[in-house]
């Protein structure tokens, strides 16, 4: 059976800059397909060969254009190239642009670089039947033998596209609930499918430490496990009595980084300090202000215990930064810095003496002093510091990136001061919030953030003047996991809200014709999203249906 994909496709997500009907003859893809790519695009070509062979049963061959002696490829072919013209066009813009053309028997994907080619291939995948997204061909011949996917005919089409922002990300907290490595790999694949390019991995907090550190082995031997976890809402003060924990080996993290790099995703590691450190203090009480032995946190919320400000503690933090830099090639290292109580410092004679020595007028300024010291070590390792917007309360390192979570105000303030910003406001982009205030929804920290609200968010607030807008690098969603105990539940919280965010941070701005609530744009987006959910089903994503959770997904509020 021949499956014909008409053009232009109305369901490409995120929406490209332009899609138009092309000229020439259609493209027929069937049992044997060649990928023509130079060696510089070998990684992208091998990735495409692998996913096509898995999902279609086709025989796919990768060939170098030089092997054809300059002759045009014959037969079914997907041609990959980096185009000098696109590279010139991308100067002064965000990299990652591409042009996809379907005509005269070939699919040609040209990018302004390897990442642009990769994003063009993700669009190409959306032109194919949904079944080709599966891990194995679902078509069988007589006698149950695999027959491969039937021929696919693509009508002539031209897609021209480029990203709006350079930081297109998703955050995952693996401290409150440990998530298996297999889920991290799946999440990276899903981010790449939606043309997102950052996985922000929150590795440590009061309730668990997931990062091995050679010089401080007790961090995972003790800090990776807690005795029990809160259950129900935090205010109920109930516990499940079940130990929980885990950590990633160094090879696990190296595998994740390599897997992500192949898909043009950067893994940005976060270690929270000087607050949210109870798991570290349980392992090494000497790092605390009272030296009192603690257990790894079992309840949710903010703990009063913080790191002391002694030199040996700063050396400990430098060791952590060194491990992060050795494991993660990301140009960014996230130091957290949010929700840091100052009660212990106010009571500490050593902290008060430090204030006098450094000429600090308030206890709150001690956090800025701490951040400056640790940030200097990050900079010495050739990386940039990222911190939640609380770092604006102290001296901010010149090249630091401010992650604005308490609304957009911090991001506006940072951009006006000349700092780069990633928008992550909880009201729009905290995906641990419920979709709706509805007892049919699973238990959540609060609500509600429906898909249409996510889609209404613009990362560049009107308060940011034109000459400062380049400081807004982009945006990302956050998934804190106090109420997200499993990877299936994480997928539910992410999708389809992440689809809406992906379009807002990739596609062109909606423009002035759209109301502040984004309703006009969402009405055009929703039919494409409904179509896109079939792709998520083929990719085995536990997404939330647009009309509400299935009975199996629901759980009454308790």
What is the C-alpha separation between 389 and 384, in angstroms, rounded? 15
Distance CA 434, CA 65 (A): 51
Of 101, 161, 173, 205, the active-site residue reads: 205
* Alpha-carbon gap, residue 219 to 247, rounded angstroms: 10
Q: At what angle do helices 519-538 and 497-506 cross, to 10 degrees?
A: 120
DSSP secondary-structure letter at 286? Answer: G
The conformation of residue 54, written as its DSSP 8-state character, comes to H
Question: If you write DSSP's letter for every residue of 120-178 in order, what string do you get?
Answer: HHHHHHHHS-GGGGSSS---B-GGG-B--PPPEEE--EEEEE--S-SEEEEEEE-SSS-
Q: How far is Cα of residue 370 from the mean position of the Cα atoms in its chain?
A: 28
Q: How far is CA 372 from the centre of its chain?
A: 27
358 is catalytic: no
User: What is the C-alpha separation between 521 and 453, in angstroms, rounded?
Assistant: 11
Asked whether the beta carbons of 438 and 129 are under 8 A apart, the reply is: no
399 noted as active-site residue: no
- Catalytic option among 177, 200, 264, 276: 276
Take residue 479 and report the two structure tokens written for it: 């998934």
d(CA 365, CA 370): 9
3-class DSSP assignment, residue 503: helix
Structure tokens at 141: 């011949």
Look at residues 435, 432, 441 and name the one whose alpha carbon lies nearest to residue 479.
Answer: 432
CA distance 184 to 190: 10
DSSP secondary structure code for residue 383 in this structure: -
What are the beta bridge partners of residue 434?
447
Point out the catalytic residue in the list 64, 339, 399, 463. 339
Whether 276 sits among the annotated catalytic residues: the reply is yes
Q: Which positions are catalytic?
A: 205, 276, 339
């Amino acid at each position: 059976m021949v499956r014909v994909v008409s053009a232009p496709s109305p369901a490409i997500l995120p929406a490209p800059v332009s899609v138009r009907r092309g000229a020439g003859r259609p493209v027929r893809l069937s049992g044997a397909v060649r990928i023509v790519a130079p060696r510089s695009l070998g990684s992208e070509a091998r990735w495409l060969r692998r996913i096509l062979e898995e999902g279609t049963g086709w025989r796919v061959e990768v060939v170098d254009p030089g092997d054809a002696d300059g002759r045009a490829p014959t037969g079914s072919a997907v041609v990959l190239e980096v185009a000098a013209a696109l590279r010139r066009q991308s100067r002064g813009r965000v990299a990652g642009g591409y042009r996809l053309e379907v005509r005269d028997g070939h699919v040609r994907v040209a990018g302004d670089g390897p990442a642009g080619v990769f994003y063009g291939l993700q669009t190409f995948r959306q032109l194919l039947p949904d079944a080709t997204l599966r891990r194995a061909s679902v078509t069988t011949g007589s006698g149950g033998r695999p027959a491969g996917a039937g021929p696919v005919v693509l009508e002539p089409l031209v897609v021209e596209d480029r990203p709006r922002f350079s930081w297109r990300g998703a955050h995952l907290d693996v401290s409150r609930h440990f998530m298996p490595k297999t889920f991290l790999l799946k999440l990276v694949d899903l981010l790449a499918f939606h043309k997102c390019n950052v996985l922000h991995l929150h590795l440590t907090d009061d309730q668990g430490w997931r990062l091995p550190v050679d010089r401080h082995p007790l961090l995972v031997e003790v800090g990776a496990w807690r005795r029990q976890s809160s259950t129900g809402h935090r205010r109920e003060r109930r516990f499940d009595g079940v130990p929980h924990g885990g950590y990633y080996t160094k090879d696990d993290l190296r595998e994740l980084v390599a897997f992500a790099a192949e898909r043009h995703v950067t893994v940005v590691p976060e270690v929270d300090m000087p607050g949210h450190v109870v798991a570290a203090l349980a392992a090494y009480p000497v790092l605390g202000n009272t030296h009192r032995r603690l257990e790894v946190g079992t309840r949710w919320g903010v703990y009063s215990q913080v790191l002391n400000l002694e030199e040996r503690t700063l050396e400990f933090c430098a060791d952590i930064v060194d491990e992060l830099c050795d494991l993660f090639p990301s140009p960014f290292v996230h130091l957290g810095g949010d929700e840091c109580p100052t009660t212990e410092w106010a009571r500490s004679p050593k902290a008060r003496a430090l204030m006098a020595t450094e000429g600090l007028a308030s206890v709150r300024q001690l956090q800025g002093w701490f951040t400056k010291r640790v940030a200097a070590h990050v900079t010495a390792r050739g990386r940039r510091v990222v911190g939640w917007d609380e770092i604006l309360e102290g001296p901010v390192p010149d090249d630091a990136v401010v992650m604005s979570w308490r609304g957009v105000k911090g991001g506006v303030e940072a951009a006006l001061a000349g700092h780069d910003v990633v928008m992550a406001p909880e009201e729009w982009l905290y995906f641990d919030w419920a979709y709706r205030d509805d007892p049919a929804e699973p238990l959540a920290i609060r609500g509600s953030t429906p898909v249409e609200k996510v889609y209404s968010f613009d990362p560049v607030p009107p308060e940011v003047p034109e000459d400062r807008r380049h400081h807004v690098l982009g945006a990302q969603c956050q998934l804190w996991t106090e109420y997200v105990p499993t990877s299936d539940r994480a997928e539910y919280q992410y999708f389809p809200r992440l689809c809406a965010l992906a379009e807002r941070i990739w596609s062109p701005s909606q423009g002035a014709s759209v109301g502040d609530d984004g309703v006009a744009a969402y009405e055009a987006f929703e039919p494409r999203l409904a179509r896109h959910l079939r792709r998520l089903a083929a990719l085995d994503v536990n997404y939330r249906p647009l009309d509400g959770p299935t009975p199996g997904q629901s759980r009454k509020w308790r």
